[in-house]
Amino acid sequence: MSDFDYDLFVIGGGSGGVRAARVAAGEAGAKVALAEEDRYGGTCVIRGCVPKKLMVFASGYGDTIEEAAHYGWDVSAGDFNWQSFSGHLNTELDRLEGVYRKLLAGSGVTTYDARARVADPHTVELSTGDTVTAKHILVATGGRPVRPEMKNAHLGIVSDDIFHLPELPKSILIVGGGYIACEFACILNGLGVEVTQYYRGAQILRGFDEEARGLIAEEMSQKGIDIHTGTNIVEMYRTPDAGQDGPAMPIEPRQFGGDEPEDDARGGPIRVKATSGGVQDFDAVLFATGRRSNTDDMGLEEIGVTLGRNGQIEVDAYSQTKVPSIYAIGDVTDRVNLTPVAIREGMAFVETVFNGNPTPVDHTLIPSAVFTQPEFGTVGLTEEAARDQEPIEVYCTSFRPMHTAFAGKPARVLMKLVVSAATRKVLGCHIVAPGAGEMIQMAGVAVKMGATKEDFDRTVAVHPTMSEEIVTMRNPTRTA
């Protein structure tokens, strides 16, 4: 008989925490509890991947209808109705949250709708006033978007807020050049919002293959997104209300250099001064400037858990912290911040702690997708990283795909393989194309298995598809 209330207490009901709790209780037979202070499902289900992907689908219909006309359909796009879409979206998110709760209950996990704090290596204090003990504690509290430190930053929204907008803005400035910035630039552009994007570096999507980044930026610009690289916000303030909507709210005209009251959402567009010197008004500003781990006021450092500069929990290969009874998985550890990785980390934790089979998570060759338009699917090394490592051959082709070329569109796609000159192994595969997320999952299997360029070559093409080019590139485009 255990001296503790539970074998495992999980803090955080997102993808990683829920999976670990379910598997520990349902398959390993542990007595498990889980606390979640917000909605079950976490970032991915409630304010990330799932609602984002549904918005990606919504935003693609304008193009589809336009293309349909070239294919002989007598159709034209009407207006996008945000309220109607977000109603359906919220219903779907409620359903999914219910599924998560049911899965936990069905596995015998006790749930607490409360905020949890660690009091000592085996004790958790809940905002309900309860205190519970557990042999092991698993922290899976994820992360949250952060605004840059600047005057009036509260005037800008973050990605969590997008799904709750009462209406879509007519114009938006998106600050940042990462996954979230680029995905929302494409989504909002597709929904008819005038999108301007400021990125402080030389090219968006830093860290990804340069050629792929270049094509995505070109395609985004081609679709009407006004990308300003080497540009950041210097200052912003809310302009006075023009007064056409409802009773005029008397507010002081403000200007650069002034402080906005924290709670004042009245007024007209947000006036932004850029590092380039330009001044422009936007209905909304979205900060997509990175995320921070959720470890504030959790009592972790006090009991010896070490945190990194971004608040992330430092763990070893088995997700164990410096305090042996406390483990952490998912975005709160800021390793590879992707849902399927958090789930893997949760499964490996259960295998290690409850099944007596120490299992580190393999963080190499993780395929992933950026849901820009066109999509970007990628696995393995970029050309730049590979050529720093060893001599390589690059096989690359860029072309206008049949589907949109027929509709008279200039859109291009890119298929690229980075190959080791010595071992012939495919070190990296990068695809920019509609559906690239689906394609890279398949290519990822081959690359993970260590497939060589010759393995790709002896695979017969599926015709006519875009991805057949991945097995028909005969001669290297360049060597390095």
Please list the active-site residues.
463
Which residue number, 199 or 282, has a Cβ lying nearer to ligand NDP? 199
Under the criterion CB under 6 A, does residue 288 sit at the interface with ligand NDP?
A: yes
Under the criterion CB under 6 A, does residue 337 sit at the interface with ligand NDP?
A: yes
Residue 258's SS3 state is: coil
Q: Which stretch binds ligand NDP (CB under 6 A): 85-93, 112-120, 265-273, 288-296?
A: 288-296
Which residue number, 34 or 205, has a Cβ lying nearer to ligand NDP? 205
Binding mask 407-436 for ligand NDP (x = CB under 6 A): ------------------------------
Under the criterion CB under 6 A, does residue 368 sit at the interface with ligand NDP?
A: yes
Distance CA 61, CA 40 (A): 30
Q: Which stretch binds ligand NDP (CB under 6 A): 3-11, 98-106, 363-371, 402-410?
A: 363-371
Burial of 141 (0-12, 13-18, 19+ CB in 10 A): buried
Binding mask 119-148 for ligand NDP (x = CB under 6 A): -----------------------------x
Under the criterion CB under 6 A, does residue 313 sit at the interface with ligand NDP?
A: no
Under the criterion CB under 6 A, does residue 232 sit at the interface with ligand NDP?
A: yes
What end-to-end distance do the CA atoms of the chain give, in Å? 63
**R_g of the chain, CA atoms, integer Å:** 25
Question: Using a CB cutoff of 8 Å and minimum separation of 24, what contacts does 157-166 make?
Answer: 157/284, 157/285, 157/286, 157/287, 158/286, 158/287, 158/288, 159/47, 159/48, 159/52, 159/184, 159/286, 159/288, 160/47, 162/55, 162/286, 163/47, 163/51, 163/86, 163/89, 165/82, 165/86, 165/284
Under the criterion CB under 6 A, does residue 372 sit at the interface with ligand NDP?
A: no
Under the criterion CB under 6 A, does residue 20 sit at the interface with ligand NDP?
A: no
Q: How far is CA 389 from the centre of its chain?
A: 28
Under the criterion CB under 6 A, does residue 178 sit at the interface with ligand NDP?
A: yes
Under the criterion CB under 6 A, does residue 201 sit at the interface with ligand NDP?
A: yes
Residues 6 or more apart in contact with residue 195 via CB below 8 angstroms:
171, 172, 174, 185, 188, 189, 224, 225, 226
Position among 102, 164, 170, 206 found at the interface with ligand NDP (CB under 6 A): 206
Residues that bind ligand NDP (CB under 6 A): 148, 175-181, 183, 199-201, 206, 232, 288-291, 337-338, 368-371
